[in-house]
């Protein structure tokens, strides 16, 4: 059995010169006449099944690639934000440490400025008081060192006696510290009158 013939289209021209399609059946008889422009446009709009599925696959692949790219971008942004936050916290910590270190220096500078604004007599009195304070602090350190040595010697002799002597040494140190603080207060009161408690 012979294969069926397909319907064919042959081209013709109208009286005005327009191109036409003559649609024929399997036997060659003319079934319909169409303008070439319209028929060609309709042909272009139609797509083969394989062509349509390939296009769909391509669009799906593109959509997946875009989605992956967006996810990567968002992950990158989150990572950058975390790094930025950590660096901000780190910078804040460093700034706080620097401020804490500078605080005593700034306090001294402020004290010096305040002393410079005082009259000359008051400046001298403050200088004397500072000297007295430094002397008392130095003597306190020496005495504390001596008492610590005594305490160590006592500990090496006997544990019980060491505890007793340690308590007495601590009391002495407290008394010495109290005396030193009293001396500082009296020096400050003599320099700046009217601030006594």
Residues paired with residue 35 on neighbouring β-strands, in sequence order: 20
The residues spanned by each domain of the chain are: 9-46, 52-117, 119-197
Query: Given this model, what pLDDT does residue 196 score?
Result: 46
Percent of the chain scored above 70 by pLDDT? Answer: 80
Between residues 115 and 21, which one has the greater pLDDT? 21
25 neighbors 7 (Cβ within 8 angstroms): yes
What is residue 78's predicted lDDT score, i.e. its pLDDT? 77
Residue 176 pLDDT more than 70? yes
pTM of the model: 0.24
Distances (CA, A) of 10 to 3, 5, 17, 96, 158: 21, 15, 15, 90, 128
pLDDT for the residue numbered 100: 75
**pLDDT above 70: residue 67:** yes
Per-residue pLDDT tens over the stretch 22-31: 888 888 888 8
| pLDDT at residue 163 greater than cutoff 70 | no
pLDDT at 159: 65
When comparing pLDDT for 197 and 172, which is higher? 172
d(CA 128, CA 171): 29
């Amino acid at each position: 059995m012979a294969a069926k013939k397909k319907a064919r289209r042959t081209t013709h021209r109208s009286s005005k010169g327009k191109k036409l399609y003559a649609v024929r059946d399997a036997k060659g008889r003319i079934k319909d006449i169409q303008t070439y422009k319209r028929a060609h446009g309709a042909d272009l709009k139609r797509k083969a099944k394989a062509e349509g599925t390939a296009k769909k696959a391509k669009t799906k692949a593109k959509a997946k690639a875009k989605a992956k790219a967006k996810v990567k971008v968002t992950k990158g942004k989150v990572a950058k934000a975390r790094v930025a936050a950590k660096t901000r916290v780190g910078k804040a910590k460093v700034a706080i440490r620097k401020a804490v270190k500078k605080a005593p220096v700034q306090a001294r500078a402020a004290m010096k400025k305040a002393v410079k604004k005082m009259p000359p007599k008051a400046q001298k009195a403050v200088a004397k008081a500072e000297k007295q304070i430094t002397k008392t602090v130095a003597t306190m350190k020496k005495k504390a060192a001596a008492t610590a040595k005594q305490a160590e010697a006592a500990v090496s002799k006997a544990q019980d006696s060491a505890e007793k002597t340690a308590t007495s040494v601590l009391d002495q140190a407290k008394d010495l510290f109290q005396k030193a603080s009293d001396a500082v207060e009296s020096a400050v009161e003599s320099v700046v009158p009217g601030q006594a408690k």
